[in-house]
Amino acid sequence: MSRNKKIIIAIDGPAASGKSTTAREVAGRLGYTYIDSGAMYRAVTLRALRENIAADDDEKITALARKIQLKFKKNSSKTIIYMDGEDVSDKIRTPQIDQNISPVAANPRIRSIMVEKQREIGRHGGVVMDGRDIGTVVFPTADLKIFMKASVKERALRRLKELEQKGLNMDFNKVVADIKYRDQQDISRNFGPLKKADDAIEIDTTQLTVEEQIEKIMTLAGQIIDC
Ligand code: CDP
């Protein structure tokens, strides 16, 4: 496969649909940069909680979103996110952040600041970015758009497993409820809602292995890069 053409791949979908694992690996195989846009909203949420700033305190939270410095660095197995130099990779992926992120992600001022940062990162192409509004708002002209979905039950099982690996034991029904709640919040917000772009290719990952998901996207990317 020719690696000369540096395309933009947008991967959107609901919580725990398999976006991040797939996007990271696809980026690795193509030699592209992987950006987890959710991590950016998560970092703003973490900082707002630490500084006791409410999501609707527009002035303070906008200032926070503007000044926050986010850097992604890849090591062998995962992507580390630094917030003003501090490794917050694990701190941003907790049930507490999950439960507090929706109003932050729904704030249009925060969204426009994050979208600006995301576009800047993707300016030269060679990027795989995952999120909710990447194919619709951030990169509406992305070369390849994927919309990943999976049943709520399967997504909850995946999230439960992820939490268990971190030593957190949660009740299955609670995880289902949290995912449903966040889906609902993501779908119904006015700005940058979770939505399949008209030209996105839908992949249902309920029955797929991670490798199968990666292969599907690699094939689609290959067709674009080679032509
Ligand atoms: O892995 P999971 O889907 O649970 O989380 P994530 O992708 O890190 O996204 C966390 C939250 O950030 C989502 O529920 C959205 O509310 C928000 N988000 C967003 O609003 N826009 C994006 N482009 C990415 C995430």
Q: Kindly report, residue by residue over 185-221, the tens digit of the pLDDT.
A: 999 999 999 999 999 999 999 999 999 999 999 999 9
Q: Which of 157, 186, 190, 196 for mutating ligand 1's site (highest number of atoms within 8 Å of CB)?
A: 186
* Cβ 131 under 6 angstroms from ligand 1: yes
Question: 226 C-alpha vs ligand 1 centroid, how far in Å?
Answer: 31
Report how far ligand 1's centroid is from the alpha carbon of 42 (Å).
Answer: 8
Cβ of residue 105 lying under 6 Å from some atom of ligand 1: yes
Residue 204: phi and psi, rounded to 5, are -90, 115
- Residue 1, pLDDT score: 47
Angstrom distances, CA of residue 20 to CA of 52, 55, 176: 29, 25, 19
CA distance from start to end of the chain: 10
Q: What is the pLDDT of residues 30-39, one digit of tens each?
A: 999 999 999 9
CA gap 95, 177 in Å, rounded: 12
Atom of ligand 1 nearest to the CA of 92: 8
Cα(132) to centroid of ligand 1, in Å? 6
Global pTM value: 0.93
Residue with tokens 């034991």: 169
42 lines ligand 1 (CB under 6 A): yes
- Which is nearest to 36 in space by CA: 22, 48, 56? 22
pLDDT tens, residue by residue, 26-62 = 999 999 999 999 999 999 999 999 999 999 899 999 9
Question: How many angstroms is it from 224 CA to the middle of ligand 1?
Answer: 27
pLDDT tens digits along 117-131: 999 999 999 999 999
The residue assigned the tokens 């992305």 is: 142
pLDDT higher than 60, residue 97: yes
SS3 22: helix
Query: What is the residue-averaged pLDDT of the chain?
Result: 94
- Alpha-carbon gap, residue 216 to 81, rounded angstroms: 27
Which atom of ligand 1 is the closest one to the Cα of 39?
A: 8
Say yes or no to pLDDT of 116 above 50.
yes
Cα–Cα dist 112/137, whole Å: 10
Q: Over 60: is that where the pLDDT of 80 sits?
A: yes
Percent of the chain with pLDDT over 90: 88
